[in-house]
Structure 1
Amino acid sequence: MRAKINEFLELWGTDLWESTIQTFQMVGISLAFSILIGLPLGVLLVLTRPGKALGNKFFYQVLNAFINIIRSVPFIILLFFILPFTKMIVGTSIGVKGVIVPLVVYTAPYIARLMESALLEVDRGVLEAYEAMGIKTRHIIWHVLIRESRSSIILGLTIATIGLIGASAMAGLVGGGGLGDLAYRYGHLRYEVDVMYITVILLIILVQGLQSAGNRLAARLKKD
């Protein structure tokens, strides 16, 4: 058994390591940009709703429709649909660099919706109390909305990250790199079943680890 494991690692160890690093790169970079875009969008969705601090029915409806349209497109279709845009932004449509743009376009609206749901959970009475004291909206956003919904935001980001891992695996179909690319090129096209099994196991471990960490952090923030 040990001899087989050593033989497998000798053949595929380097590829597995490189693919795992590429997956972390894709997920990490895409998640960072998605949060930078998605969190403000989520806040805008809450604040521009009719009756809210920055209530603007037209702006809210346009933003709401825009996010719904992007979220309606499956990732694999979106990946091909925005290839020209991706190439214009980063200069390539393949490799780790080439899938960052579609991953961000796919994930940012999803995070915006998760943020919207989390922020809407904040007790209206708490918000009214701060507003009655004359606290500025920008301070309410940070010190009330985001602070009070930290636990839900962490859970939402955990879900988004797991979805992002799945999307990054699908990016392997267009040579995006990562574990998905390794599984597709060798596990599927070349019928290297062992490679397919190991990539699946690695993805399961990664997802389970992230979910457990997210749950623990959310529970800790809820107690604070």
Structure 2
Amino acid sequence: MQVNLMDFWPRILEATNQTLLMVGISLLAATLIGLPLGIALVVTKDGGLLENKPIFNALSSVVNFFRSIPFIILLVAILPVTRFIVGSSIGTAAAVVPLVIFSAPYIARLVESSLLEVKSGVIEAAEAMGATPWQIIARVYIPEALSSIVLNLTIATIGLVGASAMAGFVGGGGLGDLAISYGYQRFETDIMIATVLLLVVIVQITQTIGNFVSKKIRRQ
């Protein structure tokens, strides 16, 4: 039975809210994990403020391990873990678990990249003035790299939008689930087009906001 797109808009709006919720919660949780992890990678590397090769190698290996797993495989592989944490393997809440595990290592590498852009002369000047490693991290590294971190988090957010769409393959809810359930399986082309356009709009708005915020806080 053909679905009328105009009558279907409430369902599309609900799916859009689910996607935004998934991405928002996942981004917050992944950033809380990825930000300190990225900082740890920078300060424990060779020549870092708190150089520690064993810790750096261990953290780097863990990050590389999870980054090497395609999201769709990770999504299925950790279903028992997801079920244990949220009590279900389907739905919006269940999709957040693999999204966080997938994006946290990615954000860690993005944060690491941003922090490595900070000029070594600025760090050396802070050390010469007697600043402790933790003071340098809080007052030099993060403020100097904040504009770049915002841009990289924007990239991570867009990646999460795409990953949240893939979560539809296991009933994760959101626009991806709608596109698969109706647009693909029921051949509802207009619904497929509507969901794709909404995802494009979300990405465009996210990138615009990220660029604006990054420009505002960029240090001259």
Query: Fold conserved (TM > 0.5)?
Result: yes
1:3 corresponds to which residue?
none
In the alignment, structure 1 residue 29 sits paired with structure 2 residue 25 = yes
Letter of the 1:34 counterpart: A
2:208 corresponds to which residue?
212
Percent identical pairs in the alignment equals: 54
In the alignment, structure 1 residue 127 sits paired with structure 2 residue 110 = no
Does the Cα contact within 8 Å between 2:144 and 2:219 map onto a contact in 1?
A: no
Deviation, 1:8, is: 2.4
In the alignment, structure 1 residue 60 sits paired with structure 2 residue 60 = no
2:38 corresponds to which residue?
42
Deviation, 1:91, is: 1.2
Letter of the 1:101 counterpart: V
Letter of the 1:154 counterpart: V
Deviation, 1:140, is: 1.2
- Return the match for 1:19 from 15, 23, 31: 15
Superposed CA deviations along residues 111-143 of structure 1, whole A, max 9, x for unmatched, are 000000000000111111111212122221111
Question: Residue 149 of structure 1 aligns to a residue in which SS?
Answer: helix
Distance (Å, rounded) in 2 between the aligned partners of 1:221 and 1:18? 34
1:152 corresponds to which residue?
148
Deviating more after overlay: 171-180 vs 214-223: 214-223
Superposed CA deviations along residues 84-124 of structure 1, whole A, max 9, x for unmatched, are 11111111111001111100000000000000000000011
Distance (Å, rounded) in 2 between the aligned partners of 1:36 and 1:171? 22
2:183 corresponds to which residue?
187
Deviation, 1:219, is: 1.5
Alignment of 1:63-74 (within 5 A): 63-74=59-70
Distance (Å, rounded) in 2 between the aligned partners of 1:145 and 1:82? 35
Task: Output the TM-score relative to the length of structure 1.
Answer: 0.95
Note the aligned Cα RMSD (angstroms).
1.0
Distance (Å, rounded) in 2 between the aligned partners of 1:210 and 1:142? 27
Deviation, 1:170, is: 0.2
Superposed CA deviations along residues 31-62 of structure 1, whole A, max 9, x for unmatched, are 00000000000000000001111111111011
Distance (Å, rounded) in 2 between the aligned partners of 1:88 and 1:55? 37
In the alignment, structure 1 residue 164 sits paired with structure 2 residue 160 = yes
Letter of the 1:96 counterpart: T
In the alignment, structure 1 residue 8 sits paired with structure 2 residue 5 = yes
Question: Residue 122 of structure 1 aligns to a residue in which SS?
Answer: coil
Question: Residue 89 of structure 2 aligns to a residue in which SS?
Answer: coil
Deviation, 1:223, is: 4.7
Deviating more after overlay: 100-109 vs 79-88: 79-88
Structure 1 segments unaligned to the other structure (5+ residues): 1-6
